[in-house]
Amino acid sequence: MTIDQLTAFLGWAAIINIALLTLSTTALIAMRGRITRIHARLFGLDEKDLGRAYFQYLAQFKIATIVFTIAPYLALRIIA
């Protein structure tokens, strides 16, 4: 695999991850009540605790996206 191919791969991976993060955030904001009720019943959690869990999920997803796709993509763009 060449550096150009790896750069293209990481660029598309970053775009897909950002799209999934945006979709997840939008779904949680728009349908928070429904999603919270479903997850509370499925996992036996308190609805108040789920707000913190959703925030932690989105934060970890964002950090993982930045660390594993965006930062390497930018590094490869800089050295190329």
**6-31: pLDDT as tens digits:** 999 999 999 999 999 999 999 999 99
Dihedral angle at the C-alpha atoms of 57, 62, 59, 20, nearest 10 degrees? -40
SS3 at position 44? coil
The domain ranges of the chain are: 3-79
The sign one gets for the Cα dihedral 40, 49, 28, 22 is negative
pLDDT digits (tens, 9 = 90+) for 32-65: 999 999 999 999 999 889 999 999 999 999 999 9
Query: What is the DSSP code (8-state) at residue 2?
Result: -
Q: Is the distance from CB of 19 to CB of 61 less than 8 angstroms?
A: no
